[in-house]
Structure 1
Amino acid sequence: MKKKILSLLVTMGLAASLVPVSVFADGTEVWDGSIAESFAGGKGTKDDPYQIATGSQLAYFAKRVNAEEYGEKYADTYFELTEDIDLGGKEWTPVGETVADLIMGGHEYFVFSGNFDGNGYTIKNLTIGTETSPYSGDVCGLFGATSGTIEDVVLENVSINYVGGNHSSGYGFRMGGALVGYSMGDIVNCTVIGLDMKAGSDGSYVALNSIGGLVGIQDGGTTVSHSRVSGKIEESTKKGNVGGFVGTLAKGSSAKYCGADVSVEVTGNGRGIAVGGFVGIGNGVTTDETLIENCYATGNITGAEYAGGFVGNISGLNISNCYAKGDVSNSFVGASFMGTDAASNNYYGTVKNCYATGLVSDISSSAYAFAMQDTMNRSTIQNCYYNIQNTAKNTESAASLTIDDMKTDSFLNVLNGSSNVWTKRNNDTPACGAEPADYSDVYEVLGNIPADLSIYTDESVANLYSAVEALRGYRDLAQQSDVDKMTNDINDAVEALVYKSADYTELDKVEEAAKALNKDDYEDFSEVEKALAAIDRTKNITEQADVDAMVKAINDAVANLVKKAPASSQPDSVSSSDASSDTSSSASDSSSSDSKATDSKSDSSSKAASNASNTNPSTGVAGGAFALALLSGAAVVMAKKKK
């Protein structure tokens, strides 16, 4: 327990500049490529999910979903991670490895339809394909295709080399992301740190082509929220759509409180590729349901056909309260926020309360300060701003400001209006809510955790561990109240730590021995009784010295006891000369006559009887020496008479 808490605290310290996400403990097992024969436990229900604790068990999970006869979809089934997992760079096959036939109207596909909870644990060193042998499936990611929910998963150090795959119809598909290639389910609180993704082609025609840092395509009217990704993407075909966070956000789907710190570099001789720092392209008519809210992108974009610091081709998206900070360069058309809406006939969108600070340069055709718009039917741009240092042309309804202007309270108020979704940052432009939460109070409280937890009860330490464990995973500014609650819970758990009891083993021994003594055998037993009465069994482990003092007090009191003098069991001593004189006189008298002897005997008996009643008060023995002397004389007379 103590080791786990210390491991968590150390890792949090290392990740303080990011978020407290990775909690790798010493001794995490590195996957050897083997496949387990079962899960770690659980029944697959909501209250008792299947448990996955090792790389081999995670591989078993993938094997089940990808099994013959279209696999186990695990609808309405629950899974959870119970430990960090290090995949060790071994080749990984996505969970739900093909979905192309579903898209083409068939039924030969593998999709995970259950619920997967990472519990904030980290899956490290995920590797899919290599530069010499890139992965060639139609979907790519930890999960290939999903229609269930994925939450609280953390991926760290992800390496992907991917070229897409062909369907039996002859069409090719390339849908890839670190977490999911093609998602038809909700994604919540997921994080990717250290993505290195290279997307190419095997030369075949690709009908559906979308690459994203977290997810390739988000579809099905679903939502990805409170998630983020950092790293880089290199695309070498110049075809399809690429987004730092999501490649394509399809009709009716949404992204809320998400962020991408991903650089995208595009090379090749293709045409038509749309690249955005956050999203490549939308895919639907302009509806209120296709939303991107409170999201950000900070990576640079290089070499695309249509490039935008936030979105490549808006195509029906409704974007609000978002910002882009990356520069856009070496593209055919480029803008600091939106690459174009012209390529999406009748699929226009809206951009409201957004800003961009990046610069646009080296654009071969048309460069725009904020967004390129169709001159016939423009997308709506409202209350949006760009960096005044941009020399690109401004043909849209966005305003220019200096970066310093964007750091002011007045700019914050302009963005907020009456919504108050934006917050101020020290010497920085406003935050939209998707940025990492403030953990400063958490770190302060963690500093109050005692260095030595071994002196506290197991129950109270377990409660503290549960409070600290809640820090796993990622929380953003919009979830600050969750972080504040974690702070309070940890603080309460620290204050509620209970010391273990002191060791009373030796005291029990000396107490038992002292109580076994008979107080009547001693001159004065009061000091022992006083020491026994002073025993206090409420002492804890930090007060062991007090208990040891109780032991010493009892031992000292017993050692100083004085036993009473023992009572005598023998009569007082008598001198041998007295006894001899009495005995001789009696013998002389008896020689005169038998009658005198008889009288002497009678007289001696009378004296014996008389002395028998005379009790010595000091000895308690009747007659004492006198009775012994008389009885000795009588014995002599009787002996002579027998002769």
Structure 2
Amino acid sequence: MKKRIASLLAALALCLTLLPMAAFAEDAVGAAQSSRTVITTVDELMQFAADVNAGAYDSKTDAVVSLESDLDLSGKTWTSIGCADNDANVPHFFSGKFYGNGHTISNLDFSSTYGNILYESLGFFGYIENAEISGLTVQGSVNATGSRKYSDFGSIVGASNKSTIRDCVSDISFTNSDNYLDGSIGLCGFAMDSTFEHCQSKGSISVTRTDNGVASLNVGGIVGYAGGTSEIRYCVNTADIEVCANSIGGIAGSLGSGNPSITNCYSIGKLTVLGKPSGGNTGGIVGMINGNTPIKHCYFAGEIDLTNYGVTTPPYKRLGGLVGKVASGTPVFENNYYTATENVASCGTSTFAADTAEAIDSMKTPEFYDKLTQNGGDYRFNPNGTPLLPGPKYTVTFTVSPAELTNVVITANGQTLTNGSIDLEAGVYPVTVTADNCEPFSADITITADTATHAQTLTLTYKPADYTAVDAAIAKAGALNRDDYTDFSAVDAAINAVDRSKNITQQADVDAMAKDIEDAIAALVVKPTATPAPTEAPTAAPTPAPAAPAATAEPQPTATAAPTATPAPVVTATPQPPVTIPQTGDSMNVTLLFALALCSGAALGLAAHKKNRS
């Protein structure tokens, strides 16, 4: 127990250090409920496999693993993800989602590990349960030397329970000669209650014996053995199959109880029939059926080679163009076709007719395509061969940014979306988006198996704001003569504050810019008009009183007795107006005024003196 806990902790710590994109959502007690693992290198892939087999992914049904590059495993010994122990128990397995994203794991060699453990599940994944595997191609080989124990081998997964394998490709060369093999072989070896859709088997499968003995194998291009509610739909096999085995089919080796179904599938790989009269059930689509299995809208258009068949006397009770043998139940056959071959019926069990024989060339015509599709088959016309299946469709979701947009209308591939998503095959598609206040958006998107292309974010651009009022206000300011105003700086500041990056949702801000300019213009103060100062007449200086005439010396009389002097009359001076200093702003010389006043007084005195003398 301590060792197991320590390994779990070590594995978890390694995941955290090697996988920086892992995201964990914790519940109330802090246990990690989800994780995302990104794989870009061989070392990261090997570590992921080791972690699963150490129990780090036990019960993690919400785990997501994303393969984000092609990886070459040349020289690496591969241990299946979810492998069996020596007692054929699988204590740890994967139950999450593995997205191959269209990438390829190449040069994977299973030769040294195939059939070493009894009841082993072997493949890229050994055993999965409640898992989903998609978008993955596995290319490699198995060269089985020596007799091997019972093994469920699948290039994608050895054994699948309650799981889905979608859009996966098996490109495996499986060879064995004169060694006894037991078990099942296919893209998936053994399947119970599982779904396979849009998968393809390529490469080749060859299990031969010189004694023409029958190996105890179920061999199918897609599934070796499928039981329960398993469904196989939209799958194709192009691998050549040459096998001595119990049950061999282009799509499925054997269909067990529970009524598994096959719909819209075809096989065009060459089918070389081997075996003895006592064994070997071989069919273009299914080797053997047990139950009320429905097989609908399928065709086999490969060559049937009977040159090495150990049965020489028809009818061939274990060989059919569609089904080798119906062991039990009442299968339902509808709208199926197979390569017309002499003495080969649609079903080796003569009581069942599994539909119609067609020449290979006729299955390449428009008439055959019409017949196949008008009766319910879902195919594409192929001008260069037999009808093709539609490609896998991926649910593509669209997120429009900014999130607050209103009246958003998304059209993808000419279809208007009602719930923000659409199912599209891989390809390039036109997308348009309209929304209130936004410029129309259009672009081409590329959809592939890569899950990153299944979530599209479309960023719209708002229409620009209307700057008409701002431009008018700026023009108005430009028409003014700034020299006519005391201060033009407020107008300049308002103009310089204009931000031309605003969009239509910010129109109020733009309108405020225009108002700021208008307000600044309205607040301008006109400079006062310069009025010239009035011209003042110079103040006339007072006319000075005339200077008193110089006294003329008169001859003095001979001194005689002076007569008695008559008293001079008192002369009353005429009142003079007070001297007013003009307030003209000019300075008046006070000394001059005083001198003038003295002169005036002297003149008056002299005049009085003359009068007295006279």
Q: Which has the larger radius of gyration?
A: 2
**Does 2:38 match 1:84?**
no
Partner deviation per Cα, 1:171-207 (whole Å, 9 max, x = no partner): 723322232111112215x1124x4212245987544
SS at match of 2:248: strand
CA distance in 2, matches of 1:598, 1:94: 143
Relative to 1, partners in 2 of residues 1:538 and 1:406: Cα closer, same or farther, differing over 3 Å? same
After superposition, where does 1:275-314 map in structure 2 within 5 Å?
A: 275-282=248-255, 284=256, 287-302=257-272, 304-305=274-275, 306=280, 307-314=282-289
CA distance in 1, matches of 2:79, 2:332: 39
**How big is the alpha-carbon RMSD for the aligned residues of Structure 1 and Structure 2?**
6.1
Q: How many angstroms does 1:216 deviate by?
A: 1.3
CA distance in 2, matches of 1:51, 1:597: 126
Contact 2:294 2:333 in 1 (8 A): yes
Q: How many angstroms does 1:482 deviate by?
A: 3.7
After superposition, where does 1:160-199 map in structure 2 within 5 Å?
A: 160-162=140-142, 172-188=149-165, 190-193=166-169, 195-199=170-174
CA distance in 2, matches of 1:179, 1:591: 146
Relative to 1, partners in 2 of residues 1:116 and 1:511: Cα closer, same or farther, differing over 3 Å? farther
Partner deviation per Cα, 1:19-58 (whole Å, 9 max, x = no partner): xxxxxxxxxxxxxxx9874543233789973112223555
CA distance in 2, matches of 1:83, 1:234: 27
Aligned to 2:533: 572
CA distance in 1, matches of 2:203, 2:371: 35
CA distance in 1, matches of 2:162, 2:431: 33
CA distance in 2, matches of 1:127, 1:389: 34
Q: How many angstroms does 1:309 deviate by?
A: 1.5
Aligned to 2:36: 51
Aligned to 1:499: 461
CA distance in 1, matches of 2:290, 2:123: 25
Contact 1:52 1:80 in 2 (8 A): yes
After superposition, where does 1:221-620 map in structure 2 within 5 Å?
A: 222-237=193-208, 239=215, 240-250=217-227, 252-266=228-242, 271-282=244-255, 284=256, 287-302=257-272, 304-305=274-275, 306=280, 307-316=282-291, 318-321=293-296, 322-329=298-305, 330-332=307-309, 335=319, 337-338=321-322, 340-341=324-325, 346-347=327-328, 350-360=331-341, 368-373=344-349, 380-381=352-353, 384-387=355-358, 407=368, 416=375, 421-422=376-377, 426=381, 435-436=390-391, 482-483=423-424, 490-492=431-433, 494=441, 498-500=460-462, 502=464, 522=485, 564=526, 566-568=528-530, 572=533, 579=538, 582=539, 585-586=541-542, 588=544, 601-602=579-580, 604=582, 608=583
CA distance in 1, matches of 2:334, 2:124: 35
SS at match of 1:212: strand
CA distance in 2, matches of 1:83, 1:351: 40
One-letter code of the match for 1:66?
A: N
One-letter code of the match for 1:499?
A: T
Q: How many angstroms does 1:87 deviate by?
A: 2.1
Q: How many angstroms does 1:254 deviate by?
A: 1.9
Q: How many angstroms does 1:293 deviate by?
A: 3.6
After superposition, where does 1:14-93 map in structure 2 within 5 Å?
A: 37=17, 39=19, 40-43=21-24, 49-56=34-41, 57-67=44-54, 71-72=55-56, 74-81=58-65, 84-89=68-73, 91=76, 92-93=78-79
One-letter code of the match for 2:249?
A: G
**Does 2:62 match 1:101?**
no
Aligned to 2:605: none
Partner deviation per Cα, 1:228-270 (whole Å, 9 max, x = no partner): 11422233456423211111113x2422423123212437xxx
Give the TM-score normalised by the residue count of structure 2: 0.59
Contact 1:590 1:597 in 2 (8 A): no
CA distance in 1, matches of 2:470, 2:430: 39
Relative to 1, partners in 2 of residues 1:425 and 1:567: Cα closer, same or farther, differing over 3 Å? closer
SS at match of 2:353: strand
CA distance in 1, matches of 2:273, 2:302: 14
One-letter code of the match for 2:95?
A: G
Contact 1:111 1:146 in 2 (8 A): no
Q: How many angstroms does 1:504 deviate by?
A: 10
**Does 2:590 match 1:637?**
yes
SS at match of 1:122: strand
Partner deviation per Cα, 1:339-380 (whole Å, 9 max, x = no partner): 5328xxx5466251142342548xxxxx5142322xxxx663
CA distance in 1, matches of 2:132, 2:547: 132
Q: How many angstroms does 1:324 deviate by?
A: 1.9
**Does 2:121 match 1:121?**
no
Contact 1:164 1:173 in 2 (8 A): no
Q: How many angstroms does 1:637 deviate by?
A: 2.7
Relative to 1, partners in 2 of residues 1:246 and 1:518: Cα closer, same or farther, differing over 3 Å? farther
Q: Which has the higher strand share?
A: 2
Contact 2:172 2:203 in 1 (8 A): yes
List alignment gaps of at least 5 residues for structure 2. Answer: 1-13, 210-214, 416-420, 435-440, 443-457, 549-572, 597-614
**Does 2:126 match 1:144?**
yes
Q: RCO (CA 8 Å, sep 6+): is it higher in 1 or 2?
A: 1
SS at match of 1:499: coil
Count matched residues.
Answer: 481
Q: How many angstroms does 1:487 deviate by?
A: 11
CA distance in 1, matches of 2:85, 2:575: 142
CA distance in 2, matches of 1:45, 1:143: 28
One-letter code of the match for 1:585?
A: A
Contact 2:242 2:273 in 1 (8 A): yes
Q: Which has the higher helix share?
A: 1
SS at match of 1:585: coil
